[in-house]
Amino acid sequence: MKITAVTPVILGYRKSDPPMSRSFALVRIDTDAGITGWGEASTNWGHSYPTVFASAVTDICASALVGQEPRAIRARLADLHARMDGYLGWDGFTSQTIGAIEMALWDILGRSVDAPVWQLLGGDGGALDLYGTGTTMFEASGQWHAEYFDQALAAGFGAVKVRLGRTQEADVDVVRQVREHVGESVRIGVDSYWFHDARSALALAEKLTDLGVFFFEEPLPQYRAAELAWLAERSPIPIAVGERVFSPRQYGELARTRAAGVFQPDASICGGILASLEIADLAAQAGIAVYPHVGGPTAVGLAANLHWASVASVPLLEYDIDPYQPLVDELSPSLALSAISDGMLAPPTGPGLGVEVPDDIAERFPYIPGETYADVFPQHERGTGEPA
């Protein structure tokens, strides 16, 4: 079997409630056997930019892949790293692009032998517990955030994640209202999206302890590793990182410095399915929990993360409970929120990733140039305190 075409497919749509734009970056790989594979890079929350991804796929990656055997996945990854690493680096945009292509190669391999990816990886396709997320509204009231999680509770979720980013007093009040609303049996995580320095994050963590918060995501940037390690050593709540950690190498350094108690790998960010499994393995060796990041992709990215996470038997996986997600609901109805009743979700059982992407997807959900959703998170003023 040979690859005949590698095509970027960038998508988008506008939501009305709340009003915001979403963008998505997929890659389609065709073969001379008539088998097509799909993969996804994380662009939907502004992690990268769809047009840059599309240019890289077209101008850099396609020529390294066309004419090659798609089922020799590790060889194809080596080809791509040889093209990209020298001048573009190992991490960030490179990892996202290569991760999307790797997903598509796994999709092709699975379809060629009529087996789901989790089976190819030696798993049993077991279901995973989910935590509900998607509260991107910084200015909304605590009551809005609390009631937003009703749809997660109705689907049987046992955990939710609250978005922080106001004053410390306001953040504590929001979490308190969510706690009162969901009850004591539901676990609550929080995500502050780089809002803090180490000292202000520690102060907030101490205030949130009595509310039963079980992880504190991205209190400050992962590249401030010394500050993260300082915070992780002192915080009464485990520090979580991963949404913007792009490779096993970066995770390895965070593990070495004990800069986090929770890792959140995402195959559409950190280099793909094999990279995610490598990260889960190094986390296990270091005694670090793994709660994969799955922040609102299409069904392609969601399925890819379910496949590897099921194989790794992770205890908890993120799930976006936004009620309007046509690129999940239409592409794979079994992965839709409406299909969940017990707070758990299993990877698809169909061949490959188990997601069917229609040929007219780009016509139905056209990308809107210039809208990458990078402005959804306000550029809050950063703290100025020193960590030690």
Q: Say if residue 95 is in the same domain as residue 146.
A: no
pTM: 0.94
Residue 222: its pLDDT value, please?
Answer: 82
pLDDT on residue 382: 44
**Of 80, 95, 114, which residue constitutes the final position of a domain?**
114
**Mean pLDDT of the region 60-80:** 98
Residue 106 DSSP SS3: helix
Amino acid 373: pLDDT: 53
Q: Which residues pair with 188 in a beta bridge?
A: 160, 213
* 101 and 129 fall within a common domain: no
Strand, helix or coil for residue 163: strand
Q: Indicate whether 385 pLDDT > 60.
A: no
Percentage of the chain exceeding pLDDT 70 = 92
User: 91 φ, ψ to 5°?
Assistant: -110, -170
Residue 367 tokens read as 């990308």
pLDDT band at 141 (very low <50, low <70, confident <90, very high): confident
Mean per-residue pLDDT for 64-80?
A: 98
Q: Which residues pair with 90 in a beta bridge?
A: none
Report how far apart, in Å, the C-alpha atoms of 19 and of each of 24, 119, 136, 137, 193 are.
17, 40, 11, 10, 20
Kindly state whether residues 304 and 236 are assigned to the same domain: yes
Last residue of a domain, one of 93, 114, 135: 114
**Average pLDDT in the 289-315 region?**
97
Residue 363 covered by a domain: no
- Phi, psi angles (nearest 5°) of residue 39: -140, 170
Last residue of a domain, one of 64, 96, 114: 114
What digits encode the pLDDT tens for the residues 225-236? 899 999 999 999
Based on the fold, state whether residues 244 and 348 are members of the same structural domain. Answer: yes
Number of domains in the chain: 2
In a domain, residue 17? The reply is yes
Residue 380 pLDDT class (50, 70, 90 cuts): very low
The CATH number of the domain holding residue 60 is 3.30.390.10
Residue 269 lies in a domain: yes
pLDDT-derived band at 140, boundaries 50, 70, 90: confident
> Would you call 333 exposed, middle or buried from its count of C-beta atoms within 10 A (0-12, 13-18, 19+)?
exposed
The arithmetic mean of pLDDT across residues 134-155, rounded, is 83
Pair (141, 55) in one structural domain:
no
Query: Which residues constitute the domain of residue 28?
Result: 3-114
Alpha-carbon distance of 129 to 294, in angstroms, equals 13
Residue 1 confidence (pLDDT): 98
| pLDDT above 70: residue 316 | yes
Q: Provide, rounded to the nearest whole percent, the portion of the chain with pLDDT above 90.
A: 75
Q: What is the pLDDT of residue 253?
A: 94
Same domain, 224 and 204: yes
What dihedral do alpha carbons 85, 91, 95, 97 form, nearest 10°?
Answer: -70
Nearest to 304 by CA among 329, 270, 281: 270
Tens-place pLDDT, residues 207-225: 999 999 999 999 988 888 8
Give the mean model confidence (pLDDT) for residues 284-296: 95
Question: Does 359 map to a domain?
Answer: no
**CATH value at residue 301:** 3.20.20.120
pLDDT at 377: 52
Task: Tell me, rounded to whole angstroms, the distance of Cα 197 from its chain centroid.
Answer: 24
What is residue 18's DSSP assignment? T
The type of residue at 254 is L
Residue 369 falls within a domain, yes or no? no
Which of 355, 321, 345 is CA-nearest to residue 40? Answer: 355
Top-confidence residue, 28 or 147: 28
CA-to-CA separations, 78 to 29, 35, 81, 83, 196, in angstroms, rounded: 17, 22, 5, 9, 38
* 317, 275: one domain: yes
Q: How much is the pLDDT for 369? A: 81
Whether 323 shows a pLDDT value over 90: the answer reads no
Write out pLDDT tens, residues 13-31.
987 766 778 899 999 999 9
Assess whether 182 and 275 both reside in one domain: yes
Q: Are residues 178 and 226 in the same domain?
A: yes
Q: Is pLDDT of 55 > 80?
A: yes
Q: Is the pLDDT of residue 384 over 50?
A: no
pLDDT of residue 243: 87
Strand partners, 22: 13
Q: Do 284 and 306 lie in a common domain?
A: yes
Question: Is residue 379 scored above 70 in pLDDT?
Answer: no
Cα(110)–Cα(104) distance, rounded to whole angstroms?
A: 10
Shared domain for 102 and 127, answered yes or no, is no
Q: Is the pLDDT confidence value at 308 over 80?
A: yes
Q: Whole-angstrom Cα distance, residue 70 to residue 86?
A: 23
Q: Give the model confidence (pLDDT) of 249-264 as tens digits.
A: 999 999 999 999 999 9
Buried-state track 75-90, b at ≥16 Cβ within 10 A, e below 16: ebbebbbebbeeeeeb
360 domain-assigned: no
Establish if 364 belongs to a structural domain: no
- Within a domain: residue 264? yes
Rounded CA separation 78/12 (Å): 31
Residues 40 and 150 reside in one and the same domain? no
